[in-house]
Amino acid sequence: MSYIFPEAVIQVFCKAPIAGTVKTRLIPTLTATEAAELHIELTTNLLKLLYAANLCPIQLWCSPNPKHIFFQTLQQQFGVSLHSQLNPAALGARMEAAIKFGLQKYTQVLLVGCDCVSLTSANFESAILALQHKHEVVLAPTEDGGYILIGMSRLVKEVFVDTNMPWSSNQVFAITKNRLQTAKTKVYTLETQWDLDEPKDLRRYLKLNIGAHNRI
């Protein structure tokens, strides 16, 4: 396949859609099964977006492993390559391992979660272009104080140190930016996004998606 940016890669972190283990902050607004179905929907929508944009190869980084039928189906639908996250390592260690792996073959690596509904193909293109034009790191912050996308043209290990990093809190983006400044890294920040974690996010999502299931 011919890509617009063949020297780049997009890595999507994704859990297997096992009821009770995904989108748990939406329970009991949703049942565990409904939350898993939403997780499937969000992941599929993201891969549809990336597949249609044809920017670069896509890697799906699976947890706990790529054997789940959901991951196998996505590989058939979208031609993604399947990879295992380091389990049960902390999130920072898993992210570092994935980006390090990507940089062995590609010159720009973007890592993204699968629950950000506001990212567009233009955002991904902007991130790749920023890394091509002398920025070493690109971040897409979220309204809740985290970030949904991180990209690198070289591995900046300081970002992923799990010590004193309260993952899934409203401090993640600020601490990450501070670490990057300390490491004297050239950073490009994309526009702020929003992801789907809480019931209020679900209501916002459903308003934007008339055809979505009426879950609440």
Tens digit of each residue's pLDDT (9 = 90 or more) over 129-182: 999 999 999 999 999 999 999 999 999 999 999 999 999 889 999 999 999 999
In this prediction, residue 212 has a pLDDT band, given cuts at 50, 70 and 90, of low
Domains assigned to the chain: 8-207 (3.90.550.10)
So what's the pLDDT on residue 82? 98
Structure tokens, 78: 């979208």
Percentage of the chain modeled with pLDDT above 90: 90
pTM equals 0.95
- Residue 20's CB is within 10 A of a number of other CB atoms, namely 12
The burial class, CB within 10 Å (0-12 / 13-18 / 19+), for 176 is buried
Does 209 have pLDDT greater than 90? no
* Average confidence score pLDDT of the chain: 94
- Rounded Cα distance between 30 and 193, Å, is 23
CA contacts within 13 A on the Cβ side of 1: 16
pLDDT band at 71 (very low <50, low <70, confident <90, very high): very high
Radius of gyration for the alpha carbons in the chain, expressed in angstroms and rounded: 17
- d(CA 122, CA 31) in angstroms, rounded, equals 34
- Tell me the one-letter amino acid at 8: A
